[in-house]
Structure 1
Amino acid sequence: MNKILIVGGGYAGLYTARGLERQLGDSEAEITIVDPLPYMSYLPFLPEVAAGSIEPRHAVVTLRRHLARTKIVQAKVTNIDHANKVATIKPELGEERTFEYDVIVMTAGSVSRTFPIPGVADEAIGMKTIEEAAAVRDRLISNFAKAAALSEGPERDRLLNVTVVGGGFAGIETIAELRDFATYLLSRFREIAFEDVSFHLVEAMGRIMPEVSEQTALWVVEDLRKRGVNVHLETQLQGAVDGVVELSTGERFGSDLIIWTAGVMANPVVRATDLPLDDRGRITALATLQVARDGVVVPDAWTAGDVSAVPDKSSTPGPGGFCVPNAQHAVRQAKLLAKNIVAVLRDEAPREYIHANEGAVAGLGLWNGVFQKGKFAIKGPIAWLMHRGYHGMAMPMWERKLRVFGDWWNQFWLGRDFAELSDREHPRVAFETFASRPKPKVDA
């Protein structure tokens, strides 16, 4: 029996495990996933989670529910010695222990990539996890409630000022969805006017969304500006100390909600391995998804998704000739990865990952979106429907698809749910405040 260790239970890890379960018999392999989280998050839905269009739990897939034969180990991988095929794992409680394997699959995904800008680590929040998206939603609603009780002034302006750093797909969808959500909230917080709310998009390059044409990107910028978003192109964030945003143009303003979407990097877990890495910290691989050192296959090591540097053999390759880190590649690579692992275990030849570009689609708030494939572009409600249709069907598992479509259906008839539950981050405060405590002992 082959012991297969999958490091990372995200999109690529989940689909690889499901593929292996279907293609390998019980006596052929023992499959284990190690991940600190018990679920995978569908990252393209994070902006809609932040905007209250999707219930946070519906944008995740519970590993234990949908993997029948795979053993789920909720822990961190702290070291991988592939030369001896031993991994070291650290659960939340208890001591580190070693795990011996025969085949390793690295699908640990990516994390937010930041720069040492003063204040960012202390004040900003990412848009890379379901917890971050839910926290952004609660913060925006909470800030509206606080601002509604204040008179005009700097503190009120700070609460109603949202800043998004990064003009890629994640940043554009985040600021567009939040701007749309904020407009909806105005009908419930009548003490706040449209002009009182400020949104700032900060992008260091001269354009946004490099995956679409320049003409389409300009249309998106103009659309955002019409909706009240201040778009700062060729502008760098230079500071965020105490929530005061400082831009390279010299502009300064207070912002209580600063969202960082300016890039991702491979999960740092890869640095604690003896697997080959490129200059960006990604695991080097062949188009067959086999880990390779200088073009030579590293036996029994595989990789896919954001953590890998997989050659892009499509007609429009990504930067540097590698697949870009997105969900479209992760799910396709994972499906092939499972087949290739099975092929090699059965002494057959693996196939190369070659994909046809399906285009790029983004949601820009309710009934607004953009789609681009080659020189062909669609904007507005039709693109928005395409966005929801594509990602709704790409969401893993029918059980989860139905929950997401149910959220959209309910929202259509009932409006957005803007109940704010930020106190759940400190759920014992109410109990502790009123709990009876033993009286202090008095000396005789």
Structure 2
Amino acid sequence: MPKILIVGGGYAGFYTAWKLEKWLRAGEAEVTVVDPLPYMTYQPFLPEVAAGSIEPRHSVVALRRHLRKTNVITAKVTAIDHASKQATISPEGADDYQFDYDIVVVTGGAVSRTFPIPGIAENAFGLKTIEEAAAIRDRLLTNFDKAANLPAGPERDRLLTVVVVGGGFAGIEVFAELRSFASSLLEFYPQLSFDDTHFHLIEAMGRIMPEVSLPTSHWVIKHLAQRGAEIHLDTQLKSAVDGHIELSTGQTMDSDLIVWTAGVMANPQIVRNSDLPVEERGRIKTRPDLRVGDEDDIVEDAWAAGDISAVPDLTGGGVGGYCVPNAQHAVRQGKLLAKNLVAVLRGEEPHEYVHKNLGAVAGLGLGSGAFQSGKFAMKGLIAWFAHRGYHGLAIPSWERKLRVFWGWWNNFWLGRDIVSLEARQTPRAAFEEFAARPKPAPEAAPKAPAAKKPRAAAKKPAEKPAETAAVK
């Protein structure tokens, strides 16, 4: 029975395994998924998680719960030697070991791509994981709590200033969601006013959201400006050391919440430690049928999909001729990869991946959104409903859909929860502060030197009586 190894449990990896469970016959193949996390993150929901509209656990899909016929290994794949069909698996807290496979499917996804800007690595949050989104929410809430105790001044401004770097879909969505969330918080903080909050988005290009038309992007900028948010176009971030923001325009500000969304790159840990072919942008060379290789060569028994792969966009709409790294492509590629893999196992021909983007939809905070399909655009409340409807139905499994929609329903009547759980990042701090500790053993007192006895005076021999002494 052939052993199929799926490297990565994100969109493409999860859907590949999910559909293989459906289409493989009993005993036809053994499937193993390896990912350092035991769940798949539905990333389009991360901005809403950061704004408290969705509970963090509701936007992730447990691999073991939904992949009942698949072997799930929670570990990293740190090397792939396809020539010998072996992968190095590195579990946390255990020794590395070699995993033998017959077919490898590389779906390791992407990570945040940053530039060597001083202070970013030390102070910024990314927006690729559920942990980052939850931490952003907690930081904003904690900063409101702190600022409410301070008088107006530089320190309060620093706590209430939010800076987002990157004007793509992810950046605009988290920026708008956080602006909406901050505005809703003000009713609970009478010490603070709307003018005390400051929101800045920095974009190096001359426009935002390249997936939508220019008029739609202009409407988004105007709409956010009316809500008290400022977008800096044609502007680069020069430094963020200790939260002190320096822009290429010369403007400066201080912020305690910096979010970086300016691009992604294929997972370097997987790409750089494999013998699979890689193109100039660091992605695995992938054919339109999702087999690894190019037009002239096929790497047998190797497949790739999602953000880590360079899949040609046969519709002609991709950047540089390749599919852009987004959820739409990753999900559909995962489904087709499973179908093609089963076809090849049965001696049939695989199909090429062709998907024309039907449109783009973005949430811009409660009650506001933007939708673009060709020349048709929707804005405002109706686009917000379209955004929630599409992504609410797109998250895999009815179990997850029900949790998400139920959360939205509760928030409609009860409002968003405004409790910060930032202390969970140091969960033992409170316990340690008051935990009783053994008292140190008392040090033994040094022994006093023994008192010296006075020397007895030397006894003189008794004098003999004179008469005795004379006797011999």
Q: Is the 8 A contact 2:287 2:294 kept in 1?
A: no
Q: Deviations for 1:22-65, whole angstroms, at most 9, x for unmatched residues? A: 11123111110111000000000000000000000000000000
Aligned match of 1:416: 416
Q: Deviations for 1:285-325, whole angstroms, at most 9, x for unmatched residues? A: 111011004641110000111111001112x5111011111
Counterpart secondary structure, 2:367: coil
Counterpart secondary structure, 1:21: helix
2-structure distance, mates of 1:427, 1:88: 33
Matches for 1:38-437 after TM superposition, within 5 Å: 38-268=38-268, 269-293=270-294, 295-314=296-315, 316-437=316-437
Q: Is the 8 A contact 1:276 1:293 kept in 2?
A: no
1-structure distance, mates of 2:296, 2:235: 39
Q: Which amino acid aligns with 1:357?
A: N
Q: Is the 8 A contact 2:82 2:276 kept in 1?
A: yes
- Name the larger-Rg structure: 2
Counterpart secondary structure, 2:391: helix
1-structure distance, mates of 2:264, 2:356: 24
1-structure distance, mates of 2:140, 2:152: 18
- Residues 294 and 350 (structure 1 numbering): CA distance in 2 closer, same or farther, change over 3 Å? closer
2-structure distance, mates of 1:102, 1:293: 21
| C-alpha RMSD over aligned residues | 0.8
2-structure distance, mates of 1:347, 1:407: 46
- Give the Å deviation of 1:356: 2.9
Q: Which amino acid aligns with 1:75?
A: A
2-structure distance, mates of 1:402, 1:328: 21
Q: Is the 8 A contact 1:286 1:295 kept in 2?
A: no
Q: Deviations for 1:138-170, whole angstroms, at most 9, x for unmatched residues? A: 000000000000001111100000000000000
Q: Deviations for 1:409-429, whole angstroms, at most 9, x for unmatched residues? A: 001111111111111111111
Counterpart secondary structure, 2:354: coil
- Using the TM superposition, name which of 289-298 and 194-203 deviates more: 289-298
Q: Which amino acid aligns with 1:414?
A: L
Q: Which amino acid aligns with 2:157?
A: D
- Give the Å deviation of 1:357: 1.7
1-structure distance, mates of 2:176, 2:104: 40
TM-score (norm 2): 0.93
2-structure distance, mates of 1:372, 1:294: 34
2-structure distance, mates of 1:239, 1:357: 36
Q: Which runs of 5 or more residues in structure 2 are unaligned?
A: 445-472
2-structure distance, mates of 1:293, 1:88: 26
Counterpart secondary structure, 1:299: strand
2-structure distance, mates of 1:272, 1:241: 33
2-structure distance, mates of 1:174, 1:18: 30
Q: Which amino acid aligns with 1:152?
A: A
Q: Is the 8 A contact 1:36 1:75 kept in 2?
A: yes
Counterpart secondary structure, 1:321: coil
Aligned match of 2:23: 23
1-structure distance, mates of 2:4, 2:234: 47
Equivalent residue pairs, number: 443
- Give the Å deviation of 1:119: 0.4
Aligned match of 2:10: 10
Q: Is the 8 A contact 2:163 2:259 kept in 1?
A: yes
Q: Which amino acid aligns with 2:412?
A: F
2-structure distance, mates of 1:280, 1:247: 28
- Using the TM superposition, name which of 114-123 and 268-277 deviates more: 268-277
- Using the TM superposition, name which of 89-98 and 21-30 deviates more: 21-30
Q: Is the 8 A contact 2:287 2:295 kept in 1?
A: no
Q: Which runs of 5 or more residues in structure 1 are unaligned?
A: none
Q: Which amino acid aligns with 2:56?
A: P
| Runs ≥4 residues deviating over 6 A | none
